[in-house]
Structures are given as structure tokens and as C-alpha cells.
Amino acid sequence: MARHLVRLGLVFAAALGSLGLGCARGAIPPASVPPPAATAEATATSIHEHVLSTATATTPAPTPTSTGTAIAAPVARAAVAVPAGIAARVVDRWPTERRFIALSFDAGSDAGYTAQILDTLREHRVLVSFGMTGHWAEQYPDLMRRIVADGHHLINHTYDHGSFTGVSTGRGPQTSAQRHDQLRRTEETARRLTGAEMRPYFRPPYGDYDASVNADIATVGYHYNVMWTVDSLGWNGLSASGIVQRCLARAEPGAILIFHVGAQSQDGPALPALLDGLKQQGYSFGTVAQLIEG
Ligand SMILES: [Zn+2]
């Protein structure tokens, strides 16, 4: 609950003009952002998100972290095209004209609708990405195993959902060593329970990241910092029909949608109608890895 209150705080902070990177960025009007060259069917929100995407992509080279940790070259992985440079690439939409959308569910609090979500996905023969905390995986090992056994994709969402920058929690930034420990404990938990690999995909708790985070995660093999194009706002109390409407209105080629498995959010109950609606719009969908790796 606490982290959701923090997220609400971010919405207000962002509305007041300080550009927040919270989960509800999609709700922020593109007040001071000039319109970019975009496809005609892109919505105002997606334009805003695309501008943010461009802005993050041109972020200057990362500065050394406070601990002075040496930054090594990225770990090469055969199956994935590794972006150039020493910093993870922030992806909040993949540049493509293909009518393909990545669906992602974050799991960091309760089990909530996880089983129901997995049933729906199996029925529709759809694979998605799950942003998992190591703590959630340890609390719900059977669900964790089913997620992987069903063929879904894992994203490292840290061990205990602490903010790497501290922006949303007011606790100050974590050190490089603390960040690496969070990532390692989570990937070890996933490997022990399921044998699955989480690298090279990372999702920051609260959407909090900066250049030092992108450098730190890249040194241990996380080359993609996975943000999102559309936040369902289920965590913020939106009804199932409201979630469906919101996501269908904002769907665009290459979009990444974010949902949550927890009982506080109606994302699970909204999923069947959302999948049907996206199909009617001519979209196919899958995991973040499928979106990025083509
Ligand atoms: Zn989260």
C-alpha cells in the first residue's frame, strides 16, 4: 500500500510541473512538449511518451557512481542484440510499425489475480512478461514456477522493490553494491526455483532511474531498462472497463503496457476484454523480449 501512496504522490508532483518518472506518467498532459514527427494515429499521450523516450535515449554518458565503481563493458549474450555503450538502454516503446504490443505484469506485493491472469493468458495462447521481485517469487514459488512453465518471460524487478534512486521513497540512492545485490538475489531466486534467466531485462521499482542506474545495471548484464508506454492505472483504482478503454485508446505499434497482478488492481479481471479489443484493432501481442528481439 505504501508504495502506491508514493506513486500517487508522484502524480501530484508531476502535475505540479516537476517531471516525474512515476507509474502514472501516461496521465500527464504533454503541456510543454513540442509535437514530434509522429504517425497520424498516435494519441497525445503516446506522443508525449515518445518524446520522453527520445529524451532518455539521448541522455549524456553516465557519470561515475558515488562509490566510484569501475564500469566494465557489457556482458555479451548470444541471443540478444546488445546496445552499444556502457549504459542500459531505456525502452518505453520499441520503434516499429508492426502492430505488435508487449504486455507486462509487475508482481511485487500480493499474489492477487496471478492465477486468473495465467488462466486467461493460457486460454488466449498469449505470452507476456512478468516483472518479478525476488521476494514475491519466494513467497509464491508455485505461481513463480507456473509462470515459467507456461512459457512467460521474466524481468528483474529487484529483490524487495526498493527505489534505486530513492526518489519515490525518500531514502536516498542505493549504492552500486546494493543495486547489484538486489539484482543478484532476484536472479538467483528465479534460477533456483525455475532455472529461468532474467538478464538482460530490468524494470525499475516506481520507474525510478537515472544515468547511474543505467550504468550499474549494464555492468551486470541488464542491457534493457524496461519502462512502459501505457500504464493501465489499475493500481490507482480504475475499474476493469476503464482499464480496457484506456489501454485500447492508447494502443500503438511497439507499445509496452504495464499492469499489476495484485488484488488492489482490476488489471486481471480486465484482461479478457482487453485482449479481445486489441485483436479487433489488428494487434498481436507478446512479451517484451519478443518485441525487442523481433
Ligand atoms: Zn513494481
Q: What is the pLDDT of residues 62-109, one digit of tens each?
A: 333 333 333 333 343 444 444 455 899 999 999 999 999 999 999 999
Query: Who contacts 70 (Cβ-Cβ below 8 Å, separation ≥6)?
Result: none
Distance 85 CA to ligand 1 centre (A): 27
Q: What is the DSSP letter of 60?
A: P
Distance 34 CA to ligand 1 centre (A): 30
CA 251 – CA 89 distance, rounded (Å): 22
pLDDT for residue 3: 44
Domain 89-294, architecture per CATH: Alpha-Beta Barrel (3.20)
CA 120 – CA 143 distance, rounded (Å): 14
CA 13 – CA 7 distance, rounded (Å): 10
Q: Is 108 helix (H, G, I), strand (E, B) or coil?
A: coil
Q: What is the DSSP letter of 234?
A: G
Distance 294 CA to ligand 1 centre (A): 25
Cell numbers describing residue 275: 485482449
pLDDT for residue 85: 58
Please write the tens of the pLDDT for every residue from 227-247: 999 999 999 999 999 999 999
pLDDT for residue 56: 36
Handedness of CA 228, 160, 235, 190 (dihedral sign): positive
Distance 94 CA to ligand 1 centre (A): 21
Question: Mean pLDDT for each consecutive 10-residue tract of the chain (294 residues)?
Answer: 41 36 35 36 31 34 38 40 72 97 97 98 98 98 98 98 96 97 98 97 98 97 98 97 98 98 98 98 97 93
Identify the H or E element spanning 194: helix 176-194
The whole-chain average pLDDT of the chain stands at 80
Q: Which of 238, 202, 201, 174 is nearest to 11 (CA)?
A: 238
- Give residue 198's identity as a one-letter amino acid code: M
Distance 75 CA to ligand 1 centre (A): 25
pLDDT for residue 222: 98
Distance 259 CA to ligand 1 centre (A): 10
Which pTM value belongs to this model? Answer: 0.74
* Other beta carbons within 10 Å of 273: 16
Distance 184 CA to ligand 1 centre (A): 17
Distance 74 CA to ligand 1 centre (A): 25
Query: Who contacts 11 (Cβ-Cβ below 8 Å, separation ≥6)?
Result: 20, 22, 24, 27, 28, 236
Q: What is the DSSP letter of 57?
A: H
Distance 205 CA to ligand 1 centre (A): 5
Distance 125 CA to ligand 1 centre (A): 25
